[in-house]
Copies of this chain bind each other. A is one copy, B any other.
Amino acid sequence: MSNIRIDGSALWADLMETARFGGTEKGGIRRLTLTEEDRQVRDWFAAACTRLGCVVTVDTLGNMFARRRGQDETLPPLTMGSHLDTQPTGGKFDGILGVLGGLAVLRALEESGHVTRHPIELINWTNEEGSRFSPPMMCSGAYAGAFTEQEVLDKHDRAGIRFGDALDAIGYRGERPCRATPVAAYFELHIEQGPILEVENRVIGAVTGVQGMRWYEVTIGGKDAHAGSTPMTLRSDALLAAATMIGAVSDIARAHAPQALGTVGLIENRPNSSNVVPSETFFTVDLRHPDDGIVALMEQELRARFKAIAETMGVTLAIRPIWDAPAVPFDPRCVAMVSDAAAEAGFESMKIVSGPGHDAAYMARVAPTAMIFVPCRDGLSHNESESITEAEAEAGANVLLGALLRADLAF
């Protein structure tokens, strides 16, 4: 369909060059949003886009838009993007590949002299990670209308610094209003952050959507007692009850195999002393499935199982739902463009559902959207050891380019 190709080594060079901004000894990146390191990479990104003939604008929440003119400037833009901020001990690719892969797309277009019908906007979203200011994906969320600008500006980090002040401090509070103007389509290239593509030996994942997710905080109340003098039958052991519930979470997920996920990642135990029967155990539960109905069913099962365990074990139970992110199906036309672009480029692809949330999940509210996944070693992400190959980066950017060119004709 097109002979335009990504310059893989230039993309890789960009990835390695920007990895210096916040680079860690272990080869990862610590580049929390709205820090000096974030400013450095933003400056670099703006300059790189400008060199490619783009006009860079910044909105009132610091989201950056690099615009390349189209044949018909009255058409809504085709957009692509991701984020340049990282986790405190993040890797070199999570988010960054989507932005610099987009830059590689702009470069390929520029070098080939191809002008698309639609204008193109490459977006660097502020604070996708949510590590410094919670929640994650706050600024694509605001763009899509999920949060107000003021809400975001008034968030504080754990040091008490206000988002708006941090934004001013790095000089990235722009003039462009932070709201979705009509958008023709949105594509986001990202590492999978999971092991499936690698296990299935596929280079490209055509992401059909983001699974539904619910989070709970669970508190079990028992009675602290001396481990050496309290008969087993007279105990109210909060940790033992929690342990049984942790097993139940796994059982429930496995009962809805293969797509259901159930995780207890965090546990806190009191008084947490070797010879004291625990009096209070707190843990989180993370339930996910691409079908919201199944997520709801899993919650029902969880509530029933937990209640029965608490009654049997003589402990109190409090379940607090703390997050409910409904499943986000992507636009089937955009997903097909990703699959087709992969096939055309000769890459083995597969349909895949995203576990983590992404800026694309908010963009799907305001534009036809899809994502492109490439494998990452051992599924490792949010980790300084996060790793992909140059060939994988290049493949992902080629599919991003191919999907964009398809959308340019279709929309």
Q: Which residues of A contact B (CB under 8 A)?
A: 192-196, 199, 211, 213, 215, 223-234, 237, 239-240, 242-244, 246-247, 250, 253-254, 257-258, 260-269, 272-278, 284, 286, 288, 354-357, 378-383
Q: Given A247-B240, A286-B228, is A265 in contact with B261 using a C-beta cutoff of 8 Å?
A: no
Taking the nearest CB of chain B, how far is it from the CB of A195, in angstroms? 5
A257 neighbours in B (Cβ, 8 Å)? 232-233
Which residue of B has the minimal Cβ distance to A269? B267
Q: Is the CB–CB distance between B272 and A231 below 8 Å?
A: no
The distance in angstroms between the C-alpha atoms of A382 and B229, with both chains bound, is 12
Q: Given A232-B262, A265-B274, is A226 in contact with B284 using a C-beta cutoff of 8 Å?
A: no
A237 neighbours in B (Cβ, 8 Å)? 250, 263
Q: Given A194-B230, A227-B355, A232-B257, is A275 in contact with B267 using a C-beta cutoff of 8 Å?
A: no
Taking the nearest CB of chain B, how far is it from the CB of A273, in angstroms? 5
The distance in angstroms between the C-alpha atoms of A229 and B196, with both chains bound, is 8
A233 neighbours in B (Cβ, 8 Å)? 257-258
Q: Is the CB–CB distance between B258 and A226 below 8 Å?
A: no
- Interchain CB contact (< 8 A) of A232 among B211, B225, B261, B356: B261
What are the nearest 8 A-B pairs in CB distance?
A194-B229, A228-B355, A229-B355, A227-B263, A243-B246, A243-B243, A274-B284, A228-B356
When all copies of this chain in the complex are counted, the total is 2
Q: Given A240-B264, A243-B247, is A226 in contact with B272 using a C-beta cutoff of 8 Å?
A: no
- The residue in A192, A267, A378 that gathers the most chain B C-beta atoms within 10 A of its C-beta is A267
A378 neighbours in B (Cβ, 8 Å)? 223
A262 neighbours in B (Cβ, 8 Å)? 232
A261 neighbours in B (Cβ, 8 Å)? 227-228, 230-232
Which residue of B has the minimal Cβ distance to A353? B229
- The residue in A194, A231, A250, A276 that gathers the most chain B C-beta atoms within 10 A of its C-beta is A231
- Interchain CB contact (< 8 A) of A272 among B192, B234, B260, B266: B266
The distance in angstroms between the C-alpha atoms of A246 and B264, with both chains bound, is 15
Which residue of B has the minimal Cβ distance to A267? B269
Taking the nearest CB of chain B, how far is it from the CB of A268, in angstroms? 8
Which residue of B has the minimal Cβ distance to A213? B228
The distance in angstroms between the C-alpha atoms of A262 and B273, with both chains bound, is 14
A356 neighbours in B (Cβ, 8 Å)? 226, 228-229, 275
Q: Is the CB–CB distance between B265 and A278 below 8 Å?
A: yes
Q: Is the CB–CB distance between B269 and A379 below 8 Å?
A: no
A234 neighbours in B (Cβ, 8 Å)? 195, 199, 379
- 11 A-B pairs with CB atoms under 8 Å apart are A194-B229, A194-B231, A195-B231, A196-B229, A225-B380, A226-B356, A233-B258, A243-B244, A264-B278, A267-B267, A268-B272
A199 neighbours in B (Cβ, 8 Å)? 234
Q: Given A265-B274, A286-B275, A382-B276, is A250 in contact with B232 using a C-beta cutoff of 8 Å?
A: yes
Q: Is the CB–CB distance between B232 and A195 below 8 Å?
A: no
The distance in angstroms between the C-alpha atoms of A237 and B194, with both chains bound, is 15
Taking the nearest CB of chain B, how far is it from the CB of A299, in angstroms? 16
6 new A-B contacts, CB < 8 A, other than A224-B383, A243-B244, are A225-B379, A227-B263, A229-B355, A232-B260, A237-B250, A266-B273
The distance in angstroms between the C-alpha atoms of A193 and B226, with both chains bound, is 7
- The residue in A195, A199, A227, A261 that gathers the most chain B C-beta atoms within 10 A of its C-beta is A227
The distance in angstroms between the C-alpha atoms of A211 and B274, with both chains bound, is 17
Which residue of B has the minimal Cβ distance to A263? B227
Which residue of B has the minimal Cβ distance to A322? B274
